[in-house]
């Protein structure tokens, strides 16, 4: 069985960045990156939106071939369809995830990591010498690797964590069931993202329109099944798209899960780190996970490299990763989660009323902060939550 | 090593005698999105070369995976 230093399972943003950073931090290490799908970045299970600042920590978006659209406005749509426009400078970008993920994987390979597509990890066991034997199958048949550190960047499935004895399960109330079409030939503001709330549209979540170009957008929604009326995500989406864009051509379709929880209790074990969706490292308010995954991947890659160099890959040593993540973003996610819980108590009438009061503010003075303030005036029960958020 | 997984009670080897119903997947409908895996308390669902597999022995019939599937690919049948 081939010996490697770091085996990264999953070539999404978390895994690709982890592999690149492990190799950059310690170029003498053998780093292998496995991807089950036959192409990195496909199929796309994502609305592809990222914030500007977070993205720039990892890649330069201006003029990049993996960018679909620059975004400079957010339009909130209340349950009664009234719109609230909020202009913010440099809001963010809509990526082309197929190209973006491939770009990140290519950076890992350029740093010296080996990438194997069409290859899945199918199980792992601890070897007597304190490494992991990882069974692998795919295009080239079955084989196995022996690795000092395995990085589980395998997305919502999170099997690496499970095999290592970590608890990666999710309560049903914290899973958003998503469905999305690529819709073409429709009319909307191509510089804005649209977010619509409402129990009839997407109970417990929201629906989105993320432009990929003029007249073409990712149109999808995420909902919490426990709050649905019995229809599944695809059925809610068919109803919403049918009402909003009856003439649009639905040229693509995807589904997926977004874990709107907080970081798993433990993100490390002997010789194992888990990162990205696999560790529930998603902003539980927005459902955004791409930048979180890259930040976690960077930490995981650097921690693994330093541990191997020091000759100590025990859970005790790898725990530094968990602490670093919690300080970087994990604690913030705990706060966002409390806000999410408080928002669950507000209803459609509140969002409709909020839209009316905010629309009374002149557009150039409308910021997300002012909208939040208005929400608090209308809904004082949110104040304690907001206080915890800002303190 | 670990102290054992948090919430590890689910993982007791004697976890069930007989469930009246078990979950089955319709692979013609399933999109292999992986959403149902972390929802299953006894961890009875996994993907094998991208095909979803429900372990009928491990499934407790709790139905937690059924409604969240975005496309309705999971259903309960008599065990
Ligand atoms: C519908 C939808 C819309 C979303 N929209 C946004 C958005 O607009 N903005 C945002 O920031 N986030 C969004 N997200 C979340 C975002 O997609 C994820 O947070 C992000 O992809 C996480 O990156 P990752 O590297 O952790 O996991 P992934 O990108 O899921 O990558 C995991 C990879 O591991 C591979 N893999 C899994 N198991 C194995 C195995 N055993 N062996 C080998 N390979 C394996 C998978 O094939 C996959 O390629 C959305 C999610 C969904 C479902
Ligand atoms: S949630 Fe549904 S579509 Fe996704 S993997 Fe499970 S059965 Fe398949
Ligand atoms: S019914 Fe419950 S135990 Fe059975 S597969 Fe679904 S979630 Fe798992």
Domain ranges of chain B: 21-78
**Residue A319 in contact with partner chain B when CB distance is under 8 A:** no
Looking at residue B17, its pLDDT comes to 57
Q: What is the mean pLDDT of residues B19-44?
A: 96
We find that the CATH architecture of domain A68-93+172-259 is 2-Layer Sandwich (3.30)
- A170 and B7: CB-CB below 8 Å? no
pLDDT digits (tens, 9 = 90+) for A248-287: 999 999 999 999 999 999 999 999 999 999 999 999 988 9
Return the ligand number nearest the Cα of B55: 3
Looking at residue B7, its pLDDT comes to 38
Looking at residue A238, its pLDDT comes to 98
Looking at residue B6, its pLDDT comes to 41
Residues constituting chain B: 79
Q: Using 50, 70 and 90 to split pLDDT, how confident is the model at B60?
A: very high
Taking CA atoms, A32 is separated from A6, A23, A59, A119, A321, in Å, by: 6, 10, 22, 11, 20
Q: How far apart are the first and last CA of chain B?
A: 37
The CATH 3.30.9.10 domain(s) of chain A lie at 68-93+172-259
Look up the pTM and report it: 0.94
- A232 and B33: CB-CB below 8 Å? no
We find that the CATH architecture of domain B21-78 is 2-Layer Sandwich (3.30)
- How far apart CA A6 and CA A301 sit, in angstroms, is 9
The A residues from 15 to 44 touching B (CB cutoff 8 Å) are 36-37
Which chain A positions have a beta carbon within 8 Å of B47's beta carbon?
A: 157, 159
Is the separation of the CB atoms in A161 and A152 below 8 Å? yes
Residue A94: half-sphere exposure toward Cβ, Cα within 13 Å: 26
Phi, psi values for residue A99, rounded to 5°:
-70, -35
Looking at residue A24, its pLDDT comes to 98
Options 3.40.50.300, 3.50.50.60, 3.40.30.10, 3.90.950.20; CATH for A3-45+97-169+262-331 is 3.50.50.60
Residues constituting chain A: 391
Looking at residue A160, its pLDDT comes to 98
pLDDT over 90 percentage in chain A: 81
Looking at residue A34, its pLDDT comes to 98
Position B4 pLDDT exceeds 70: no
Q: What is the CA radius of gyration of chain A?
A: 22
Looking at residue A391, its pLDDT comes to 38
Looking at residue A389, its pLDDT comes to 46
Looking at residue B8, its pLDDT comes to 39
- A255 and B33: CB-CB below 8 Å? yes
pLDDT digits (tens, 9 = 90+) for A199-244: 999 999 999 999 999 999 999 999 999 999 999 999 999 999 999 9
Per the prediction, chain B carries an average pLDDT of 84
Is the CB of residue B34 below 6 angstroms from any atom belonging to ligand 2? yes
The CATH 3.50.50.60 domain(s) of chain A lie at 3-45+97-169+262-331
Would you state the structure tokens that stand for residue A150, as one six-digit string? 């395995």
Would you state the structure tokens that stand for residue B76, as one six-digit string? 């309960």
Q: What is the mean pLDDT of residues B31-59?
A: 94
Is the separation of the CB atoms in B78 and B59 below 8 Å? no
Residue of A141, A177, A279, A319 to mutate, interface with B, max B Cβ within 10 Å:
A177
Cα A270 to ligand 3 centroid, rounded to whole Å: 29
Question: What stretch of H or E contains A65?
Answer: none
Looking at residue B10, its pLDDT comes to 46
Is the separation of the CB atoms in A345 and A274 below 8 Å? no
Nearest chain B CA: its distance from A363 CA (Å): 37
pLDDT digits (tens, 9 = 90+) for A109-128: 999 999 999 999 999 999 99
Residues of chain A falling short of pLDDT 50: 388-391
């Amino acid at each position: 069985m081939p010996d490697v230093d770091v085996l990264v399972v999953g070539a999404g943003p978390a895994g690709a960045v982890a592999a690149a950073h492990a190799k950059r931090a310690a170029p003498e290490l053998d780093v292998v990156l496995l991807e089950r799908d036959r192409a990195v970045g496909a199929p796309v299970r994502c609305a592809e939106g990222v914030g500007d600042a977070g993205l720039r920590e990892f890649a330069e978006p201006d003029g990049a071939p993996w960018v679909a659209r620059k975004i400079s406005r957010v339009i909130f749509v209340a349950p009664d369809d009234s719109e609230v426009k909020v202009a913010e400078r440099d809001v963010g970008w809509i990526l082309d995830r197929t190209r973006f993920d491939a770009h990140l994987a290519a950076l890992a390979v350029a740093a010296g990591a080996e990438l194997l597509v069409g290859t899945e990890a199918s199980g792992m066991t601890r070897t007597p010498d304190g490494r992991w034997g990882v069974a692998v199958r795919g295009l080239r048949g079955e084989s196995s690797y022996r690795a000092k550190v395995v990085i589980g960047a395998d997305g919502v499935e999170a099997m690496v964590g499970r095999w290592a004895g970590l608890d990666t399960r999710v309560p049903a109330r914290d899973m958003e069931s998503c469905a999305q079409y690529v819709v073409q030939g429709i009319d909307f503001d191509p510089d804005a993202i649209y977010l619509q709330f409402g129990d009839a549209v997407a109970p417990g979540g929201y629906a989105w329109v993320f432009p990929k170009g003029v007249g073409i957008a990712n149109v999808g929604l995420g909902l919490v099944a426990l709050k649905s009326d019995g229809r599944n995500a695809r059925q809610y989406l068919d109803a919403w798209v049918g009402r909003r864009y009856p003439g649009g051509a639905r040229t693509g379709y995807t589904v997926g899960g977004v874990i709107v929880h907080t970081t798993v209790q433990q993100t490390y074990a002997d010789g194992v780190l888990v990162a990205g969706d696999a560790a529930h490292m998603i902003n539980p308010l927005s459902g955004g996970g791409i930048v979180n995954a890259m930040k976690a991947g960077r930490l995981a890659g650097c921690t693994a490299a330093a541990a191997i160099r020091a000759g100590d890959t025990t859970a005790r040593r790898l725990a530094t990763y968990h602490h670093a993540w919690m300080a970087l973003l994990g604690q913030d996610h705990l706060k966002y989660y409390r806000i999410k819980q408080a928002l669950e108590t507000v209803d459609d009438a509140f969002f409709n009323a909020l839209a009316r009061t905010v629309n009374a503010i002149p557009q150039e003075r409308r910021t997300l902060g002012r909208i939040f303030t208005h929400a608090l005036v209308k809904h004082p029960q949110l104040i304690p939550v907001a206080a915890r958020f800002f303190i | 090593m670990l102290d054992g997984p948090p919430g590890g009670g689910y993982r007791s080897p004697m976890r069930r005698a007989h469930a009246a119903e078990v979950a089955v997947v319709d692979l013609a409908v399933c999109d292999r999105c992986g959403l149902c895996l972390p929802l299953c308390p006894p961890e009875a669902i996994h993907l094998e070369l991208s095909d979803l597999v429900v372990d009928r022995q491990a499934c407790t019939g709790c139905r937690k995976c059924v409604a969240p599937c975005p496309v309705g690919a999971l259903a309960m049948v008599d065990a």
